[in-house]
Chain A
Amino acid sequence: MLTTGTNGKPGNTWRRVAYYKGCLASLSAKELDTSTIALARKLGLELEALESVTCCGAGDIHEAEPDYYLHLNARILSYAEATGSDTLMTVCNVCTLNLRQANWQLQKDEELLERVNRNLETVGVPAYSGSVEVKHLLWLIAEGEGYERLKQAAHKGLKGLRVAPFYGCQILRPSKLLGFEDPDRPWSLEAIIEACGGEPVDYPAKIKCCGFPIIQAREETALGELIQPIEQAQEAGADAMVTPCPLCHLSLDAWQSKLKAATGKDFSMPILHLSQLIGVAAGLEASELKFKRHVVSVEPMLEKLEV
């Protein structure tokens, strides 16, 4: 049912967390999964990957069948709890909001928790007691011991590479459910870029939407959103952008060609997952970073670093 992925070197382990990959890292953004696992090993973060879980439903099941959304997420939380860890680590904004929202709903309402648990048990899932906290990888390494370990691991540095942080929406808002940092003036990605020896580039759209949720149903509106961060990051002189969300990544990376077709502007802006950016500074292998899976070439950035 659960595969135990122990990857911390003995004696080096700093903490052990349950790891929820989500759809993207499991399927179309495998590079996020491989770089996260490799990075965690360097940081002494022991990951226990949940394998028997489903998609969190993104915003879609929450909108189409919200009761099912709640139960799917409760099921994920229950299997995270079964690992014995108090933390469920996510690597996607949307998973983070979905799981945190469901978790709050259950933790703060005994009656609801009871109802959901009855249903879980009926289909053979262990009841959830509410002991897990959902945290994005970003939050684990932006402060405290995680940040110290990150600084040590990022020994190769980024040689002052100009990196534009792109937060996306659902790791910031609604802050009532996320609450790690000020949603209008976040600092965590900048802190990490600095720790890796890069230079954070500031621009207003770093906290705005990438357009992904409506990119299929309302392409034009979505592209109107997508262009803002890429254009502003380029004007601010960024060599690359980094994001903690694989959906933002997909939008920024894969849909850049559509932006080009629609506006004639060729940005050729390399887009990195958070774990890849740190991975470059930490000297991860090409087979772990898997840049070949990107649509926009990362080569120009790597050449600057002479990697």
Chain B
Amino acid sequence: MSIGTEITGGSAPEPTMEVAIKIWRYDSQTGERALKLYEVEAPEWACLLDVLDIIKDRVDGTLAYRKSCRMMICGSCGMRMDGGAVLACKERMKPIVDRGHVPVISAMGNMPIVKDLVVDMDPFWSKIRAMKPWLQPGYQEPPEREYLASQEQMNPIHKEALCIMCGCCVSECNSMESDPDFLGPAALAKGFRFVGDPRDGADIERLNEYNSEHGIWDCTRCYFCNERCPKGVDPRDAIAKLGAESVRQGIDHDLGAKHAKWFVTSTKTTGWLRETELVPKTQGIVSAIKQTKFALGLARRGKVPLPFPPHVAEEVREARALHDLLKEQNRRGAAGIVQGERGLARIERTDEGGAKRDIAEITPGEEPAAAGS
């Protein structure tokens, strides 16, 4: 039996359901776009991809989308459902049908649309390639014995190695919307996959490259990538690991790294973040002077606390002592994040939150991006 052409098979008829979805159709040649409603009968086990197959087979053969493995492995079927990127082969339709909801399907964001649900992934691939996604062991001829890496040594990159390069994390990346050249979550997660690999010998080179203008410090920490990733890669955490490794290795020329380091100093000296001092510490004195007028404007409103007297948190001594103590323990850099992953992996995910209200009229990202944008 071939799924999608034959919806009932074997002896007993399978239970079916009526599925309604809306799809943003788009033709980049003519620039035509339209939101079309489709209603089809589908087996109760159908996922979004099955429903698209049924529509393509029975209703409109011109519908364009990508697919291959049908089992969350190949990364082909990324698209938006109600404004959020999903893998079409992962999303079960039954709960949505039961809710009486008609989801809106559109192409992923932050990539130009080719047709309907197919995006041009060239920019995505070129950023992945920019990470030099191959091992650079630091020798030409392999040694006599192959390099043996223990499970323990490989654990720090376990999550990053799960990436199937579907692009879901990129779709709603807020920094990439604002700076299209930002390397972005998938590429940077790939970067940590190599920086964290015990067999790779190019860490410093890689970290220097990833600390570029459109690199790790461009990330605005919106956490859309962690929210969307269907494989649990948590790209934002991978970016934080790259930041931590950079600081550990003394690669801190970027304003972002300076900013991050100043927070550490603040907690050791006053306990609280001292915003007036943050500007010069982050940007250097020349640009700090350029900021002065703006800063004075803020100071008039009490938005910037005056540097004297410092607001010393009580017992800041304890924070300082903690910092000194930790220096001697072997959890600096990315290891500090990796150590927390075991606990976080044990959180059971509940999806109950969404049931409290009906779906809002406006769905973020419902409109597809303009042609070529």
A interface residues with partner B (beta carbon < 8 Å)? 1, 23, 26-30, 51-55, 57-72, 75, 101-102, 104-109, 112, 119-120, 122-125, 169-170, 173-177, 179-185, 187, 202-209, 211, 213-214, 216-218, 220-222, 224-225, 250, 254, 257-258, 292-295
Docked Cα-Cα span, A231 to B362, in Å, equals: 16
Given the known interface contacts A57-B267, A173-B227, the answer about A225 and B220 at a Cβ–Cβ threshold of 8 Å is yes
Q: Which A residues lie within 8 Å of B302 (CB)?
A: 28, 30, 293
Closest Cβ–Cβ distance, residue A291 to chain B (whole Å):
10
Q: Whole-angstrom distance between the alpha carbons of A68 and B294 in the complex?
A: 32
> Would you give 19 A-B contacts (Cβ < 8 Å), ordered by A?
A55-B267, A55-B272, A63-B240, A63-B244, A64-B261, A64-B263, A64-B264, A104-B347, A106-B343, A108-B347, A119-B325, A174-B227, A176-B226, A185-B357, A202-B362, A204-B362, A214-B218, A216-B278, A216-B279
Contact A119/B326 with A65-B247, A216-B255 known, Cβ cut-off 8 Å:
yes
Decide if A104 touches B344 in the complex (CB within 8 Å). yes
Among B178, B219, B244, B264: residue with most chain A CB under 10 A: B178
Assess whether A54 is in contact with B319, with CB atoms less than 8 Å apart: yes
In the complex with contacts A106-B343, A107-B343, A54-B223 CB distance below 8 A: no
B259-318 with Cβ < 8 A to chain A: 259-264, 266-267, 271-275, 278-279, 282-283, 294, 297-298, 301-305, 311, 313-316, 318
Across the interface, do B272 and A23 meet the contact criterion of CB distance under 8 Å?
A: yes
Docked-complex contact B353 and A123, CB < 8 angstroms: no
A173 contacts B224, CB within 8 Å? yes
B342 within 8 A of A: yes
CB nearest neighbor in A for B213: A218
Query: Nearest Cβ distance between residue B59 and chain A, in whole angstroms?
Result: 28
CB–CB B298/A295 < 8 A: yes
**Given known contacts A72-B322, A202-B360, is B313 in contact with A179 (CB within 8 Å)?**
no
Q: Considering the chains assembled together, what is the distance between the CA atoms of A119 and B256 in angstroms?
A: 29
| Contact, CB under 8 Å: B223 / A170 | yes
Contact of A224 among B177, B244, B342 (CB under 8 A): B177
Chain B residues lying within 8 Å of A202, measured Cβ to Cβ, are: 360-362
Asked whether, in the complex, the Cβ of B326 is within 8 Å of the Cβ of A109, the reply is no
Report Cα–Cα, A128/B275, bound state, in Å. 30
Nearest chain-A residue to B232 (Cβ)?
Answer: A176
**With A and B bound together, what is the CA distance between A217 and B247 in angstroms?**
16
Report yes or no: A108 in contact with B260, Cβ–Cβ below 8 A: no
Chain A residues within an 8 Å CB radius of B316: 54
Q: Judge if B99 is at the interface, Cβ distance under 8 Å.
A: no
B319 near A75 (CB under 8 angstroms)? yes
CB <8 Å contact, A64 and B219: no
A69 and B82 contact, Cβ closer than 8 Å, known pairs A1-B314, A60-B263: no
CA distance A185 to B18 in the complex (A): 25
Measured CB to CB, the closest approach of chain B to A19, in angstroms, equals: 15
Question: Cβ of B362: which chain A residues have Cβ within 8 Å of it?
Answer: 202-204
When chains A and B are docked, how far (Å) is the Cα of A23 from the Cα of B276? Answer: 13
Residues of chain A lying within 8 A (CB to CB) of residue B223? 169-170, 173-174
Q: Please give, as numbers and ranges, the residues of chain A lying within 8 Å of B83 by CB-CB distance.
A: 184, 204
Q: State which of B9-17, B45-53, B153-161, B333-341 sits at the interface with chain A.
A: B333-341
Given A65-B336, A225-B177, 5 other A-B contacts at CB below 8 A?
A: A53-B271, A54-B267, A185-B359, A205-B364, A217-B256
